[in-house]
A and B are shown apart, each in its own frame.
Chain A
Amino acid sequence: MKALSISNLRKTYKGGFEALKGIDLNVEEGDFFALLGPNGAGKSTTIGIISSLVNKTEGKVSVFGYDLDTQLVELKRQIGLVPQEFNFNQFETVRQIVVNQAGYYGVPRQVAHERAEHYLKQLGLWDKRNDPARMLSGGMKRRLMIARALLHEPKLLILDEPTAGVDIELRRSMWDYLLEINKQGITIILTTHYLEEAETLCRNIAIIDHGAIVENTSIKRLLATLNRETFVLDLSRDEDQRIEPQLEGFTMRQTDDHTIEVDVEKSQGLNKVFDQLSAQNIKVLSMRNKANRLEELFVDLVERGRSAKSAAGA
């Protein structure tokens, strides 16, 4: 079953700005799906329409088969939303915020209190339950919004940049939590600027730019299209002086006395690099990707889309 189905979705804001230009998107039940795009691409508008915070101009949206236009109440029950910005009452306590949210979905107060304890404990906020939300740290506020979105036990969780401004440790613990609830059967749609996040968490991906979907596929398939990667190699030789290796058939840049960057085509493989360095009596101490693989693809896809558009315009 499709968790989300969008067809020909358009949004034109007052003033004529066309945020969405007829997008089509499908997300399968149980998926962990990433919606990527640069700022202003249309990600938040899409999420706003799905969660009925933004009125669409045209198109169809359905969530678990419930139509946005004709079955709004049932559609809303399926969705838990974690917005990009903190949108809770800063003067209410943590527990009040989550219990009230459950109440809006018709969850009886007693049940809401039980669930609040469960989710606040899971997200490490139980000790803060009686504190006003304004007293929480940024990371805690993000976790509070996740707890709030889960209180009515939705089947589809939508997170709009949930780890923006969150430190690395907390981000990793949030990733673990999201993977865990996804394993339990909740479909997750995530927008993010951190491409590493999408690569780590998500199975499928859509890239949106200027209100249009420029790519919609699985992360595996997308990464397979990557033809060239840049590796950073830290080198060493017995003599402690500048190392200037010669690599035939590769484009190479020396970044300091002991570090080089090498562009490797998919067809070439890394063995040839190691063979040549070894022949020059140079050891490779460590090696890493220069940029996130997905990041390279993302930039490439967005740029390709823009050039195609400007060519069509010319």
Chain B
Amino acid sequence: MTASYSFIALKTIWIKECTRFLRIWVQTLVPPAITMTLYFVIFGSIVGERIGDMSGRPYMEFIVPGLIMMSVITNSYSNVASSFFSAKFQRNIEEMLVAPVSTPVIIAGYVGGGLVRALIVAVIVTLVSFTFVENVSINHAGILVLTVVLTSTLFSLAGLINAIYAKTFDDISIVPTFILTPLTYLGGVFFSVSLLPGIWETVARANPVLYMVNAFRYGFLGVSDVNISVALSVIIGFNLVFFVTAYTLLQRGIGIRS
């Protein structure tokens, strides 16, 4: 397939994916705004007033980057997982499989959809945060954009891998419930890991989400519990591993070809 054909195919999958989540915007774009508003009200305004500063910043300000990242992770993952699994379930994935669409193009199309949804949600949650935090400053815009793009890509790939293996709708809710949510909550969204005692700080540093939240917080507030180069390397490393895994599974036809 020539590059121009591949580009048209990629654009087609990408438009289809974006159309899908925009068509059901009440299910995809409104819930993060409501959930995050509740987080800001409860953890930021009510509880946060009593906590005071965290890493030298007011608590409300401290949790803004973490909450945006939490929405990005959840939405990029669930977008690709549910879309790809639905395509498998309804068998319309066959439309792509019979056509000369290469595996990297399929991956890029679905991940592109997850990325756009995650970025729109990030903007929505940022706008929501403006109503609670007066001065949301951006210290390192480049790191901020790079982190959000790489993190969305990573979790879109993870959602794709989940959907490839999934046989029922339950299978695509198990990972978010039992793995993603605990990792996100323990990934430094609401606290600085430096507050954890001894061994628990070391354990917390094994959590990859911690690096994403902190790299993003560094972009926003200029503070981080981890070294930014290490954080970006971890995110890029996971992206590579997940891409190779998704590519290998699709090439072999796991879950999509008999």
The answer to whether A and B interact is yes
Binding site for B on A (CB under 8 A): 13, 48, 51-55, 72-74, 76-77, 79, 81, 83, 85, 87-92, 96, 100-101, 103-109, 148, 152
Q: How far is the CB of B199 from chain A (nearest CB, A)?
A: 45
B5→A106 contact, CB < 8 A: yes
Within B201-258, the residues touching A (CB, 8 Å) are: 253, 257-258
- The CA of A101 and the CA of B98, in the complex, are separated in Å by 10
> Taking CB as reference atom, which chain A residue is nearest B105?
A104
Within the complex, the shortest CB–CB distance from B230 to chain A, in Å, comes to 40
Quick one: which of B11, B23, B98 contacts A51, CB cutoff 8 A? B98
Given contacts A55-B258, A73-B1, contact A87 B11 (CB under 8 A): no
Question: Does B183 have its Cβ within 8 Å of any Cβ on chain A?
Answer: no
With A13-B258, A100-B12, A108-B8 as given contacts, are A83 and B94 in contact (CB-CB < 8 Å)? yes
> Can you name 5 A-B pairs with beta carbons within 8 Å?
A54-B257, A103-B13, A104-B96, A109-B12, A148-B95
Is B95's CB under 8 angstroms from A88's CB? yes
Q: Assess whether B1 is in contact with A106, with CB atoms less than 8 Å apart.
A: yes
CB distance from B98 to the nearest CB of A (A): 5
Given known contacts A91-B23, A106-B8, A106-B9, is B98 in contact with A81 (CB within 8 Å)? yes
List CB contacts (< 8 Å) of B89-137 with chain A.
90-92, 94-102
B8 and A87 contact, CB distance less than 8 A: no
Encoded as 1 (CB less than 8 Å from any A CB) or 0, chain B from 25 to 36 comes to 000000000000
Shortest Cβ distance from residue A143 to the other chain B in the assembled complex, whole angstroms: 17
Partner of B91, one of A85, A101, A103: A85
Query: Does B45 reach chain A (CB closer than 8 Å)?
Result: no
Q: Determine whether the beta carbon of B98 is less than 8 Å from that of A77.
A: no
Q: Are B97 and A106 touching (Cβ within 8 A)? A: no
Listed from nearest, the 7 A-B pairs whose CB atoms lie closest are A106-B5, A103-B12, A104-B99, A87-B91, A73-B100, A76-B100, A89-B92
Known interface pairs A53-B257, A54-B257, A54-B258. Does A76 touch B99 (Cβ–Cβ under 8 Å)? Answer: yes
A100 touches B16 (CB 8 A): yes
Residue numbers in B under 8 Å from A51 (CB-CB) = 98
Kindly list chain A residues whose C-beta atoms are within 8 Å of the C-beta of B11: 103, 109
User: Is B4 an interface residue, CB under 8 A from the partner?
Assistant: yes
Instruction: Please tell me if B192 contacts chain A, counting CB pairs below 8 Å.
Output: no
| Residue of A48, A79, A87, A105 touching B92 (CB-CB under 8 A) | A87
User: Shortest distance in angstroms between B109's beta carbon and chain A's nearest beta carbon?
Assistant: 10
- What's the interface size class on B, roughly? 20 to 34
A52 / chain B contacts, CB cutoff of 8 Å = 97-98, 257
| New A-B pairs, 16, CB < 8 Å, besides A52-B97, A53-B98, A104-B12 | A52-B98, A53-B257, A55-B258, A72-B100, A76-B100, A77-B100, A85-B91, A88-B95, A89-B86, A91-B20, A100-B16, A104-B9, A105-B100, A106-B2, A106-B8, A152-B99
- Chain A residues closer than 8 Å to B95, beta-carbon distance: 87-88, 100-101, 104, 148
As a 0/1 sequence over residues 137 to 173 of chain B, the CB contacts with chain A under 8 angstroms (1 = contact) are 0000000000000000000000000000000000000
- Our pick among A83, A100, A106 for the contact of B6 (Cβ within 8 Å) is A106
**Complex Cα spacing A76 to B1, Å:** 10
Question: B87 contacts the other chain (Cβ, under 8 Å)?
Answer: yes
* In the complex, chain A residues whose CB is within 8 Å of the CB of B94: 53, 83, 87
CA distance A254 to B6 in the complex (A): 68
CA A216 to CA B13, docked complex, whole Å: 41
B19 near A: Cβ within 8 Å?
yes
B residues within 8 A CB of A96?
16, 19
C-alpha spacing A142/B258, complex, angstroms: 24
Establish whether residues B92 and A55, one from each chain, have CB atoms under 8 Å apart when the complex forms. Answer: no
Q: Which residues of A contact B23 (CB under 8 A)?
A: 91
Interface pair A107/B1, CB less than 8 Å apart: no
Which of B8, B99, B100 counts the most A-chain CB atoms under 10 A from its CB?
A: B99
Q: How far is the CB of B4 from chain A (nearest CB, A)?
A: 7
Chain B min CB distance to A219 (Å): 28
Selected contact of B101 from candidates A48, A54, A79, A104, CB within 8 Å? A104
Distance of A206 Cα from B1 Cα, bound (Å)? 33
Which residues from 66 to 102 on chain B have a C-beta closer than 8 Å to any C-beta of chain A?
Answer: 86-87, 90-92, 94-102
Query: How near does chain A come to B60, taking the closest CB pair, in angstroms?
Result: 40
Q: Of A55, A72, A81, which one neighbours B253 at CB under 8 angstroms?
A: A55
Least distance between A65 CB and chain B CB atoms (Å): 16
Residue of B nearest to A149 (CB): B98
CB nearest neighbor in A for B99: A104
A106 to B105, CA, bound (A): 12
Judge whether B98 and A106 touch: CB under 8 Å: no
Q: How far is the CA of A100 from the CA of B4 in the complex (A)?
A: 16
Report B183 CB to chain A, min CB distance, Å. Answer: 32
Q: Which residues does chain B contribute within 8 Å of A79, judged by CB atoms?
A: 98
Instruction: Report whether B100 and A106 are in contact in the complex, using a CB–CB cutoff of 8 Å.
Output: yes
Residue of A nearest to B92 (CB): A89
Q: Is B99 touching A90 in the complex (CB atoms < 8 A)?
A: no
Residues of A within 8 A of B257 (CB): 52-55
Query: Are B253 and A89 in touch, CB under 8 angstroms?
Result: no
| Residues of chain A contacted by B102 (CB below 8 angstroms) | 73
Separation in Å of the B253 CB from the closest CB of chain A?
A: 6
Check B8–A53 contact: CB distance below 8 A.
no
Bound-state Cα–Cα, A51 to B19, Å: 28
